[in-house]
Amino acid sequence: MTEPKELNPFRTLAMPPPQAAAAPDLLMPKSEEESIREELERGILFTSVEKMVNWSRANSIWPLGFGLACCAIEMMAALAPRFDISRFGAEVMRASPRQADLMIVAGRVSLKMAPVLRLLYEQMPDPKWVISMGACASCGGVFNNYAILQGVDKIVPVDVYVPGCPPRPEALIHGIMKLQEKILVSRVELGPIARKTRKGAA
Ligand code: SF4
């Protein structure tokens, strides 16, 4: 007794005609169209530009390498071999904001530091994201006083808040994974596409 032929879950090309699917005959020579279709399905993946761009962005996040207080120690631990955020493609810490697309605000932000942090954010190229790491960065934490900014979202837009004092490296990794989810469903600005008309004008 022969096993029923499994359907290919990744089949993306047009399905074969119903009569061909209903009565597969291994002895019958395949048509050229069917042979080409099978060859294509072995090595070609169909997707959209938006999904491809988002997938590559989400899996190659480059964080800006700076820390503000004790939370930064946990951020450094997340980079080390025990936790190893390179598993999520986010280990390439950049020393320049012009090469980074993720700002991890790790620690309390003093009012003196706030304009510097904002300047660093503005120097990062688009698209860019911000993770607020720890209670101090998110709401001032225990420092409810005149010297500390009561939440970094007062000066930069925050995408993900990581709670804790300090958050464990696993919590930061979870925040990065949440950010990846957000990036994967975000809209991609592809910019103006020049279209040629019959008269040749772009
Ligand atoms: S949240 Fe806690 S560990 Fe982080 S900067 Fe504030 S006091 Fe330090």
Helix-, strand-, coil-residue percentages of the chain, each rounded to 5? 40, 10, 55
Domain count, the chain: 1
Residues 127 and 101: their CA atoms lie apart, in Å, by 7
E-strand stretches of 67-167: 102-106, 129-133, 160-162
Q: How far is the CA of 147 from the centre of ligand 1 (A)?
A: 15
Please give the pLDDT value at position 17. Answer: 52
| Any domain includes 147 | yes
Residue 116 predicted with pLDDT over 80: yes
The whole-angstrom separation of Cα 108 and Cα 156 is: 14
From 104, 131, 138, 165, mutation site for ligand 1 pocket: most ligand atoms within 8 A of C-beta: 165
Q: Is residue 34 part of a domain?
A: no
Neighbours of 69 (CB within 10 A): 18
pLDDT band at 202 (very low <50, low <70, confident <90, very high): very low
Residue 91, domain member (yes or no): yes
Q: What is the pLDDT of residues 2-45, one digit of tens each?
A: 555 555 444 455 555 555 555 555 566 778 788 777 777 777 77
Distance 71 CA to ligand 1 centre (A): 5
Q: How far is the CA of 14 from the centre of ligand 1 (A)?
A: 56
pLDDT for residue 178: 95
Mean pLDDT along residues 43-50: 79
Per-position DSSP letters for 143-165, written without gaps between them: --STTB-S-GGGTS--SEEE-SS
More reliable by pLDDT, 146 or 25: 146
Using CA atoms, how far apart are residues 90 and 135, in angstroms rounded to an integer?
22
pLDDT of residue 15: 55
The structure tokens listed for 134 are 């720890």
Residue 85 CA, ligand 1 centroid: distance in Å: 21
Say yes or no to pLDDT of 200 above 50.
no
Give the CATH number for residue 165: 3.40.50.12280
pTM for this one?
A: 0.75
Q: Over 70: is that where the pLDDT of 194 sits? A: no
Using CA atoms, how far residue 46 sits from 37, 42, 51, 52, 183, in Å, is 13, 12, 10, 10, 20
Is residue 18 included in any domain, yes or no? Answer: no
- Choice from 70, 104, 143 to test ligand 1 binding pocket (greatest atom count within 8 A of CB): 70
The answer as to whether 118 is a domain residue is yes
Mutate to test the pocket of ligand 1, among 66, 68, 71, 139 (most ligand atoms within 8 A of CB): 71
As for ligand 1, residues whose beta carbon falls within 6 Å of it are 69-71, 107-108, 134-136, 141, 165-166
CB 40 within 8 A of CB 46: no
Distant-in-sequence, close-in-space partners of 11: CB < 8 Å, separation ≥ 6: 41
Beta partners for residue 148, in sequence order: 110
**Cα of 81 to ligand 1 centre, how many Å?**
23
Does a structural domain hold residue 59? yes
End-to-end CA distance of the chain: 63
Give me ligand 1 centre to Cα 136, in Å: 6
Residue in 160, 156, 1 with CA at minimum distance from that of residue 90 = 160
**Residue 15 within any structural domain of the chain:** no
Residue 34: predicted pLDDT: 81
- Does the pLDDT at position 66 exceed 90? no
User: Does a structural domain hold residue 140?
Assistant: yes
Interior CA angle at 125 toward 158 and 99, to 5°?
105
| Predicted local distance difference test score (pLDDT) of residue 153 | 93
Lowest mean pLDDT among 15-29, 109-123, 154-168: 15-29
